[in-house]
């Protein structure tokens, strides 16, 4: 088991949970975790108890990606967080959240989320963080459009 910590800009823990390592490389970790909270209706999708999250973390990319399936295995979509590159240890993964998120439906349509939060936080972000966030978003959009990596199963 490994502990995932989503951090605020000042390094405080915003969210913490555990998952099981599925794959581990020097610059990438893939874990499996399950939604253990009550149902969270986001409008475009909902996270429900026992939804399976296959989560991709990178030390050289400015994002992470969660492939989300229902408890019965049906693909719901992908939730992508724009973040600083991950920091790996033997027991954990830490990432600083940079506010922007992206939801990708199984048919390839996507929604850019939390642009208002990103804009409000921009004065607190370093130039490196601002450039990294744009780089991460651009790379995600390219992966989606070209149906690469975890997005190779897009229906579009």
pLDDT, tens digit (0-9, with 9 covering 90-100), for 52-82? 999 999 999 999 999 999 999 999 999 999 9
Q: In the prediction, which pLDDT does 45 show? A: 97
Asked if 2 and 19 count as a contact pair (C-beta separation under 8 A), the reply is yes
Overall size of the chain counted in residues: 156
Q: In the prediction, which pLDDT does 153 show? A: 85
Name all domains of the chain by residue range, CATH numbers in brackets.
2-151 (2.40.380.10)
What residues have CB less than 8 Å from 44, skipping those under 6 apart?
103, 105, 111
Q: How far is the CA of 76 from the CAs of 8, 52, 136, in angstroms?
A: 27, 10, 22
* CA atoms of 51 and 37, how far apart (whole Å): 10
What residues have CB less than 8 Å from 148, skipping those under 6 apart?
142
pTM across the whole model = 0.95
* CA atoms of 49 and 33, how far apart (whole Å): 11
Q: In the prediction, which pLDDT does 87 show? A: 98
Low-confidence ranges of the chain (pLDDT < 70): 156
Asked if 7 and 95 count as a contact pair (C-beta separation under 8 A), the reply is yes
For residue 53, the SS3 value is strand
Asked if 132 and 99 count as a contact pair (C-beta separation under 8 A), the reply is no
Q: In the prediction, which pLDDT does 134 show? A: 96
For residue 73, the SS3 value is coil
């Amino acid at each position: 088991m490994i502990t995932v910590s989503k951090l605020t800009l000042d390094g405080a823990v915003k969210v913490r949970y555990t998952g099981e390592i599925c794959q581990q490389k020097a610059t990438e970790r893939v874990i499996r975790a399950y939604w253990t909270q009550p149902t969270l209706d986001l409008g475009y999708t909902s996270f429900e108890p026992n939804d399976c999250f296959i989560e991709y973390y990178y030390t050289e990319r400015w994002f992470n990606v969660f492939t989300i399936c229902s408890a019965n295995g049906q693909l719901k979509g992908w939730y992508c967080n724009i973040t600083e590159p991950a920091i790996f240890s033997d027991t954990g993964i830490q990432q600083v959240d940079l506010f922007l998120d992206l939801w990708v439906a199984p048919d390839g349509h996507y929604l850019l989320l939390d642009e208002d939060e990103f804009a409000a936080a921009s004065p607190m972000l370093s130039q490196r963080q601002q450039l990294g966030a744009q780089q991460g978003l651009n790379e995600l959009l390219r992966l989606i459009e070209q149906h690469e990596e975890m997005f190779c199963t897009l229906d579009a």
